[in-house]
Amino acid sequence: MEQAYGAGKAGGTFDPITFFQQPQIILRIVSWIFSIVIFGCIANEGYVNRPDEVEEFCIFNRNQNACNYAVGMGSLAFLCCAVFMALDVYFPQISSVKDRKKAVLADIGVSAFWSFVWFVGFCFLANQWQVAKPEDNPLKEGGDAARAAITFAFFSIFTWAGQAFLAFQRYKLGASSSLFSQDYTDPSQDPAGVPAAGTEYTGYSPDMEANYDGSGGYQNQDY
C-alpha cells in the first residue's frame, strides 16, 4: 500500500479501531491523562496553610511559581494533546504531501518541546518539594497529590519524547511511492484541474489551432 508519512492516499474511510491502535495515538491519550492528573492534583490539593493561618500557600515550599507552572503547563498540555489528536484524525485526508510533511515536522517540534517542558517541571517541582519546610504543613495535607504531580511530570517526559520519536520515524518514512510526488494533490481537490460548474469540456483550445500546421490532415492533390 502506497503511503506518505505514515498514511495512505486521501479519501479513505475512517476506522476508529485502527486509529486508536496506532502507537502515537496511544501515547497522546496517555499524555492527555497525565496532564489532567498533574493539573487536578495541584488545583485541588496543592495549596495548604498552617493551623493559625487563613491564607493558603503553594505546597511546594510556598513557591507560587511552582504551582502556577504545574497548573499552567498541565492545562496547555491537555489542549495540545486534543489539537494533535484532531490533526491525527484529519491527517489521512490531507492530499498534499508538502502539507503532510509540515504536519509531521510540527509534531516533532511540539512533542520535543513538551518533553523538555516536563523535564524542567519535574526538576523544579522535585526541588521545591525537597526543600519544603515541615512546619509550613504540620498536618501533612496534600502530600500524596504533590508526589503524584511530580511522578506524572516525570512520566510525561518519556510519553512526549516517544511521540517525538514516532513522528521522526514517520518523517524518515516520507513518501514511500513514486505516486506521491512532492507536488501531488488529489485531482478531486485541485480547482485548476476541474472544469467550472455548468460548462462542458470540449478538449479545444485556441493554441491548438494556432499551432496546427496541416501536416496531419487532408492534403490537396495537384492534377
pLDDT digits (tens, 9 = 90+) for 103-153: 999 999 999 999 999 999 999 999 999 999 888 887 788 889 999 999 999
Q: Average pLDDT over the chain, rounded to whole?
A: 80
Which grid coordinates belong to 148? 503524584
Given a cut of 50, whether residue 184 has pLDDT beyond it is: no
27-64 burial, b for 16+ CB within 10 Å, e for fewer? bbebbbebbbbbbbbbeebbbbbeeeeeeebbbbbbbe
- Identify which of 165, 63, 69, 168 has the alpha carbon closest to the alpha carbon of residue 117: 69
Given a cut of 60, whether residue 180 has pLDDT beyond it is: no
Would you list the domain boundaries of the chain? Answer: 16-174
Q: What is the pLDDT of residues 43-95, one digit of tens each?
A: 999 898 888 888 889 999 999 999 999 999 999 999 999 999 999 988 888 87
Given a cut of 90, whether residue 215 has pLDDT beyond it is: no
210, with CB counted inside 10 A (0-12, 13-18, 19+), is exposed
pLDDT level of residue 216 (50, 70, 90 thresholds) = very low
Output the pTM of the full model. 0.72
Given a cut of 50, whether residue 179 has pLDDT beyond it is: no
- pLDDT of res. 70: 95
- Identify which of 199, 196, 121, 119 has the alpha carbon closest to the alpha carbon of residue 158: 119
Least confident of 165-169, 170-174, 213-217: 213-217
- pLDDT of res. 35: 96
- pLDDT of res. 7: 55
- pLDDT of res. 92: 82
Using a pLDDT cut of 90, give the percent of the chain over it: 48
What's the N-to-C CA distance of the chain in angstroms?
64
Mean pLDDT along residues 37-47: 93
